[in-house]
């Protein structure tokens, strides 16, 4: 196929004949598959034209299609298609009438086994979550310790708060399901669309296997906290609370699975999930009682699953016998507590709540199944196409449709390739790299130690000696595990652990890593790039940071343009890089990796398997680029794995390694690999190569471990005794001495650019990435707007009408929910963004592009304008709708407190991403911190009421300071009298006596609110500099 059209369809024996009829012949040593890939390409077609009497005229894909119809195979195929299918001549199973290959029971068992396997392999996250729950339960039960909580009207609020906190904790414990489900949807959609299984076979096992975890988490929480906090001691009430918490956890998990399946995007799932939490808690009955809700929003009360959990949990506790004493209002204390919270329902409502939660669980799981069944996978976004490329595409289309074909002779093709090798804008110094007796050791893995393997260290490289020279393209080959990439990492200084021994020299001088990073490039196999940057911007960014400061912007831009032309990326320069599978192709990513390194104007380039994962055509393009680079007198080394004949013989020299990190060949390949073949065929017992056989394949076959054992030979020892080894040693000794008059490489600074230029470049890239990531930025702005509208609707015009204690608690509770969950939304949204860029940062720092502080400073600065916009949006919606006090001081404090809150939550997420090795671990740790923020915020238990052994948690909780700033700035100077627990107090006295908020201490609150984001930002810089979770 080519360009989406079938060029040939028939027996493989006739394909060469077909193309010969078209005028194209495969060379004798050319692989047929490689020939087929290139013969339909406009750029490579001419070299296969064999009629010397006629000039080559480009044959389009449409021409090939037409010629195939006239070819005897095409005619036969057409005749066969004209005949209808005769069922009597074939087995009854030749036609399938079932969508799936297995029965429903077999499908269920297969998906259940797969889900169980994934859970076992992800067991760390689940075990960590349960361990975290135990820690939180231990903290909670000592905060709400029964020794200071009595059965009376005042302390009933603390029992109510502890029950709410238990529900909040188990609901939030299910948020991890958002990222876990969203991250696996891409695989599900692919398998669903290929009819591996129906959606129910995926959703039902997911629901079933989460039940044991819910049972464990609910039991752990209930067993640890129930009697220590001092709930009603009847055993049946213990088990009723356990059942309720179990169902709440199941409902939360099901809800977040449903949200992930509806949103179908990991970046959007977090803010949408957090908004659902905001809605659930605001309508949950504890934050704002049903009696305080606007009449037109009371329906929302009955739609929140948390309402039924609250009704069941509080009814189970406050209908107990010990709460039946009469209160000051001449009703029981328990009934008074339930009435104040708007949850005064009969005891039998516990079972109604259980039924409602089961109903929610069923609806959410059915919704999850339906969403998986009927929603399409999110389509790949379109990348940017430049006007320049668009005109070329139109020209190509007109060429294909025109009877006049463009003449491209071999000479014209050759000239175009040769012209592309000219990148002479910036000079560089050709350098050699020589290494002698290089050895590399790592600590023995723990499993091998347990098995009694004697050596403490494992040797991966053994006495490797060799040299790489300018203008010589060297291949580094060997079977898997031979140490090819290990050797390149050792030579380039990219190993983060282990012990390196031996002598490595650059241009005859001992290698200095800081200097080496400035004159070298390393193309990793994984092709790691920022997805929201275009191809040209990626190369420009690398040039900005890696070219010397003396190179002005004009020269730098010209150099970037020439590199793009040389690497053949100029036609796609305006396309977004994207992520693998959704962006530029694999082959284009390979070339971009090369361009990003080449634009630093290196003298030495290492490339780790630049052709892996590519078809013959794409690999040929990459190798043409590599040859172009070598022609500029640069030193280039590539690891390759089972190359075609053309790719293998494009190399000048070969270093071949065997398992154990030993050399078995180092020298020139020769014409048609003659020197390599001559060396190995001379060894007794090694079979001769067959005619037209791939020398690379033959070489790996005859030197592999099985062949070595069969022949009883040690190829490493044979090499050490050969003339090749002696010649190699002589060359290394020659290159280990500096040339006469050669100066040792030295740079006055570690980085090519100063700190200010590094910061500007990093900020430029971050700005582009953020601007092109609406899923992140527009998502959190949308959630802010929606949450603010809901907040304003629930508290419509109540900001200045605080007439009693409940009015104040409504405002306090709503502010708590908005601060906490909007902050969590920011933190959860920024985590995947930072985590996804982690490997890019590792690559760029290894390349010596910038200091960790330049990157860190740019990362924290780019968040500020977006967060400020969030805070202003929050102010613009909530302030007039709630009608807070309209003084300049109070308006400023309102937006300042919200800005600092969103800022420190975002910086906290950035910090967590830097402190943890993986995104799931960061999410679990973040969940733990959110829970601690909830507990010590001063909402559930006011600061002065927190036990003295935990009061330090209140003082270091950032949410507590945010609540302090928002409430005190609005009400700290209000002398209006309200009734609190039967006593008359001014609002300002109430804030001071109950919550410890003092109006005259707002200046200290302002300082602390600013200190939190500064501390988190500084800690992020330190973590980025000191921590590296990449193990090489």
pLDDT digit string (tens) for 384-394?
555 555 565 55
Nearest to 616 by CA among 645, 592, 589, 588: 645
- The DSSP code sequence of 434-498 is EEEEEEEEEEPPHHHHHTT---SEEEEEEEEEEEE-TT-EEEEEESTTSSHHHHHHHHHT---SS
Judged against a pLDDT cut of 60, whether residue 983 lies above it is answered with: yes
CA distance linking residue 785 with residue 469, whole number of Å: 61
pLDDT at residue 717, as a whole number: 93
Highest mean pLDDT, choosing among 607-616, 994-1003, 1013-1022: 1013-1022
Confidence of residue 407 (pLDDT cuts 50, 70, 90): very low
Q: Average the pLDDT over 481-487 and give the result.
A: 89
pLDDT at residue 148, as a whole number: 65
Q: Average the pLDDT over 681-698 and give the result.
A: 90
Judged against a pLDDT cut of 90, whether residue 240 lies above it is answered with: yes
pLDDT digits (tens, 9 = 90+) for 331-353: 888 888 888 888 888 889 999 99
Q: Strand 977-980 to strand 983-986: parallel, antiparallel, or no bridges (unpaired)?
A: antiparallel
CA distance linking residue 51 with residue 49, whole number of Å: 6
Judged against a pLDDT cut of 90, whether residue 966 lies above it is answered with: yes
pLDDT at residue 386, as a whole number: 54
> Which two three-digit tokens encode residue 532?
């929201």
Confidence of residue 398 (pLDDT cuts 50, 70, 90): low
Highest mean pLDDT, choosing among 364-378, 485-499, 1002-1016: 1002-1016
Q: What percent of the chain has pLDDT over 90?
A: 46
Contacts of 540 (CB under 8 A, 6+ apart): 556, 557, 560
Choose the weakest-confidence range: 95-99, 102-106, 325-329.
95-99
Confidence of residue 421 (pLDDT cuts 50, 70, 90): very low
Q: Average the pLDDT over 508-532 and give the result.
A: 88
Any idea what DSSP says for residue 690? Answer: P
* Residue 324: how many other CB atoms lie within 10 Å: 12
Confidence of residue 38 (pLDDT cuts 50, 70, 90): confident
- The DSSP code sequence of 390-406 is HHHHHHHHHHHH-SSPP
pLDDT at residue 915, as a whole number: 92
Confidence of residue 439 (pLDDT cuts 50, 70, 90): very high
Per-residue burial over 550-571, b = 16 or more CB atoms within 10 Å of its CB, e = otherwise: ebeeeebeebbbbbbbbbbbbb
pLDDT digits (tens, 9 = 90+) for 849-878: 999 999 999 999 999 999 999 999 999 999
If one compares 408 and 47, the residue with the highest pLDDT of the two is 47
Q: Average the pLDDT over 484-488 and give the result.
A: 91
Q: How far, in whole angstroms, is CA 725 from its chain's centroid?
A: 46
Nearest to 769 by CA among 1025, 532, 1022: 532
pLDDT at residue 411, as a whole number: 35
pTM to 2 decimal places: 0.83
CA distance linking residue 462 with residue 717, whole number of Å: 12
CA distance linking residue 205 with residue 192, whole number of Å: 15
- Give the DSSP H or E segment for 749: none
Choose the weakest-confidence range: 120-124, 281-285, 1003-1007.
120-124
Contacts of 781 (CB under 8 A, 6+ apart): 866, 869, 870, 873
pLDDT at residue 420, as a whole number: 43
Per-residue burial over 12-22, b = 16 or more CB atoms within 10 Å of its CB, e = otherwise: eeebeebbeeb
Judged against a pLDDT cut of 70, whether residue 463 lies above it is answered with: yes
Do residues 646 and 34 make contact, with C-beta atoms less than 8 angstroms apart? yes
CA distance linking residue 958 with residue 937, whole number of Å: 8
Do residues 1018 and 912 make contact, with C-beta atoms less than 8 angstroms apart? no
pLDDT at residue 100, as a whole number: 85
- The DSSP code sequence of 512-573 is -HHHHHHHEEEE-TT----TTSBHHHHHHHHHHHHS-TTS-HHHHHHHHHHHHHHTT-GGGT
Confidence of residue 513 (pLDDT cuts 50, 70, 90): confident
Judged against a pLDDT cut of 90, whether residue 310 lies above it is answered with: yes
């Amino acid at each position: 196929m080519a360009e989406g059209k079938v060029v040939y369809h028939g027996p493989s024996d006739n394909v060469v004949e077909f193309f010969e009829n078209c005028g194209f012949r495969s060379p004798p040593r050319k692989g047929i598959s490689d020939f087929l890939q290139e013969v339909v390409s406009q750029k490579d077609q001419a070299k296969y034209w064999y009629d010397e009497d006629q000039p080559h005229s480009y044959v389009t894909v449409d021409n090939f299609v037409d010629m195939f119809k006239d070819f005897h195979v095409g005619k036969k195929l057409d005749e066969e298609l004209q005949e209808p299918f005769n069922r009597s001549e074939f087995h009854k199973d030749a036609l399938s009438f079932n969508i799936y290959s297995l029965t429903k029971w077999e499908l269920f068992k297969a998906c259940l086994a797969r889900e169980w396997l994934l859970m076992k392999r992800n067991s760390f996250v689940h075990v960590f979550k349960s361990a975290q729950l135990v820690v939180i339960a231990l903290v909670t039960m000592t905060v709400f310790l029964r020794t200071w909580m009595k059965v009376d009207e005042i302390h009933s609020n603390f029992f109510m708060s502890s029950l709410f906190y238990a529900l909040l904790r188990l609901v939030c414990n299910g948020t991890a399901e958002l990222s876990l489900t969203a991250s696996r949807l891409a695989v599900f959609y692919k398998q669903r669309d290929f009819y591996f299984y129906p959606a129910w076979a995926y959703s039902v096992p997911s629901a079933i296997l989460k039940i044991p975890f819910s049972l464990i988490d609910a039991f752990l929480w209930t067993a640890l906290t129930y009697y220590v906090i001092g709930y009603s001691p009847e055993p049946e009430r213990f088990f009723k609370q356990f059942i309720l918490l179990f169902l709440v956890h199941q409902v939360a998990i099901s809800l977040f699975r449903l949200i992930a399946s509806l949103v179908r995007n990991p970046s959007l799932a977090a803010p949408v999930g957090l908004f659902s939490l905001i809605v659930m808690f605001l309508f949950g009955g504890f934050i704002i009682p049903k009696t305080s809700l606007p009449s037109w929003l009371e329906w929302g009360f009955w739609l929140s699953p948390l309402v039924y959990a609250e009704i069941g949990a509080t009814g189970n506790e406050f209908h107990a016998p010990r709460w039946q004493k009469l209160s000051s209002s001449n009703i029981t204390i328990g009934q008074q507590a339930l009435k104040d919270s708007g949850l005064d329902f009969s005891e039998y409502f516990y079972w109604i709540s259980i039924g409602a939660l089961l109903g929610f669980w069923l609806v959410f799981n059915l919704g999850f199944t339906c969403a998986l069944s009927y929603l399409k996978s999110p389509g790949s976004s379109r990348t940017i196409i430049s006007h320049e490329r668009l005109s070329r595409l139109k020209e190509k289309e007109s060429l294909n449709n025109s009877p006049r074909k463009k003449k491209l002779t071999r000479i014209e093709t050759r000239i175009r390739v040769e012209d592309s090798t000219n990148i002479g804008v910036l000079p560089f110094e050709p350098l050699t790299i020589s290494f002698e007796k290089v050895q590399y050791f790592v600590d023995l893995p723990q499993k091998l130690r347990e098995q009694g393997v004697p050596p403490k260290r494992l040797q991966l490289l053994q006495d490797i000696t060799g040299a790489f020279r300018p203008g010589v393209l060297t291949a580094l080959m060997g079977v898997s595990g031979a140490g090819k990439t290990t050797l390149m990492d050792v030579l380039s200084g990219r190993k983060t652990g282990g012990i390196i021994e031996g002598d490595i020299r650059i241009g005859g001088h001992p290698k200095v890593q800081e200097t080496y990073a400035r004159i070298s490039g390393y193309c990793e196999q994984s092709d790691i790039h920022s997805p929201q940057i275009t191809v040209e911007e990626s190369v420009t960014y690398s040039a900005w940071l890696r070219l010397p400061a003396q190179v002005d912007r004009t020269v730098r831009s010209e150099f970037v343009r020439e590199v793009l032309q040389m690497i053949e990326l100029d036609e796609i320069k305006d396309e977004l890089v994207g992520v693998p599978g959704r962006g530029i192709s694999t082959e284009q990513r390979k070339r971009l990796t090369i361009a990003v390194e080449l634009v630093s104007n290196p003298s030495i380039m290492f490339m780790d398997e630049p052709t892996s994962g590519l078809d013959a055509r794409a690999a040929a393009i990459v190798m043409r680029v590599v040859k172009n680079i070598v022609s500029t007198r640069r030193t280039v080394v590539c690891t390759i794995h089972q190359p075609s004949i053309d790719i293998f013989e494009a190399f000048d020299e070969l270093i071949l390694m065997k398992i154990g990190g030993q050399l078995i060949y180092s020298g020139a390949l020769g014409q048609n690999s003659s020197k390599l073949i001559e060396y190995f065929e001379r060894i007794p017992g090694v079979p001769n190569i067959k005619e037209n056989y791939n020398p690379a394949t033959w070489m790996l076959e005859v030197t592999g471990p099985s062949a070595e054992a069969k022949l009883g030979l040690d190829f490493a020892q044979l090499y050490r005794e050969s003339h090749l080894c002696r010649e190699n040693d002589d060359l290394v000794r020659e290159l280990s001495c500096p040339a006469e008059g050669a100066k040792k490489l030295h740079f006055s600074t570690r980085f090519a650019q100063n700190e200010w230029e590094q910061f500007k470049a990093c900020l430029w890239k971050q700005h582009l990435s953020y601007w092109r990531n609406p899923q992140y930025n527009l998502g959190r702005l949308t959630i802010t707007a929606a949450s603010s509208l809901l907040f304003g609707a629930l508290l419509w015009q109540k900001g200045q009408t605080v007439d009693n204690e409940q009015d104040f608690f409504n405002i306090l509770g709503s502010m708590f929910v908005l601060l906490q969950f909007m902050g969590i939304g920011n933190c959860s949204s920024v985590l995947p963004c930072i985590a996804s860029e982690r490997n890019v940062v590792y690559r760029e720092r290894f390349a010596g592009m910038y200091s960790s502080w330049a990157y860190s400073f740019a990362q924290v600065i780019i968040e500020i304008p977006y967060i400020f916009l969030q805070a202003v949006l929050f102010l613009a919606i909530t302030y007039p709708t709630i009608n807070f006090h309209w003084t300049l001081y109070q308006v400023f404090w309102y937006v300042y407190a919200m800005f600092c809150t969103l800022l420190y939550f975002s910086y906290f997420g950035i910090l967590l991403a830097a402190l943890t090795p993986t995104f799931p671990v960061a999410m679990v740790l973040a969940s733990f911190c959110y829970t601690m923020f909830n507990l010590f915020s001063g909402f559930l238990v006011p600061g002065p009421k927190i036990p003295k052994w935990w009061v330090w948690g209140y003082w270091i909780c950032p949410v507590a300071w945010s609540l302090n700033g928002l409430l005190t700035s609005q009400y700290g100077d209000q002398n209006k009298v309200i009734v609190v627990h039967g006593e008359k107090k001014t609002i300002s006295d109430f804030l001071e006596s109950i919550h410890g908020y003092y109006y005259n201490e707002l200046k200290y609150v302002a300082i602390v609110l600013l200190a939190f984001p500064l501390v988190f930002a500084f800690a992020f810089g330190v973590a980025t500099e000191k921590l590296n979770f990449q193990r090489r």
